[in-house]
Amino acid sequence: MSKTEEALKEAFAGESQANRKYLAFATKADQEGHPQAARLFRAAAEAETIHAHNHLRALKAIRSTGENIEEAVAGESHEFKSMYPAMITVAKTEGNKAAERSFHFANEVEKVHARLYQELLAGISKTGETYAYYVCPVCGYTAEKAAPGVCPVCGAKGKMFKKVE
């Protein structure tokens, strides 16, 4: 990988993180009664997404949908097979309950993501049928077609789930 490509990867990671951080900061600003700060955080977050996507395109890292789904399966699988289990062990060893819970939620949901991507790739839904997904706002558990009554990962109520289409 060239130095420029390494720089693009680093810049993509930084802009991506800034995007999610600013959105979290915007929610906090709203809660604290600073609506203008919230707007600026959201506007900057929007711009950081544009920067991140520009970097990703310059890296030629966006390929066909089939290849992109394969990449997603590989990434999700790495996370639940090795990355999160190791992190959960570290958090347990150090007695960091908040980190353990956060890693556990992600670990369980990445398994679901890997399965959903694999099923899509295998053509299980090649009927042309399209449907919505429902995402748990607490742990990220992702369901097809309808929200469960209660989240199987964290126990949150299904009516809290966010519909994604």
User: Applying CB under 5 A, does 153 fall inside the site for Fe ion?
Assistant: yes
Tell me the C-alpha distance between 15 and 143, whole Å.
29
CB 76 within 8 A of CB 110: yes
Task: Tell the smallest beta-carbon distance from residue 53 to Fe ion (Å).
Answer: 11
Q: Which of residues 93-132 bind Fe ion (CB under 5 A)?
A: 110, 113
# residues contacting Fe ion (CB under 5 A): 14
Task: Tell the smallest beta-carbon distance from residue 48 to Fe ion (Å).
Answer: 4
Residue in 56, 61, 121, 154 binding Fe ion, rule: CB under 5 A: 154
CB 43 within 8 A of CB 19: no
Residue in 51, 53, 101, 104 binding Fe ion, rule: CB under 5 A: 51
Q: Are strands 162-164 and 133-135 parallel, antiparallel or unpaired?
A: antiparallel
* CA dist 49 → 54, 55, 59, 101 (Å): 8, 10, 15, 28
Task: Tell the smallest beta-carbon distance from residue 89 to Fe ion (Å).
Answer: 20
Residue in 34, 138, 148, 158 binding Fe ion, rule: CB under 5 A: 138
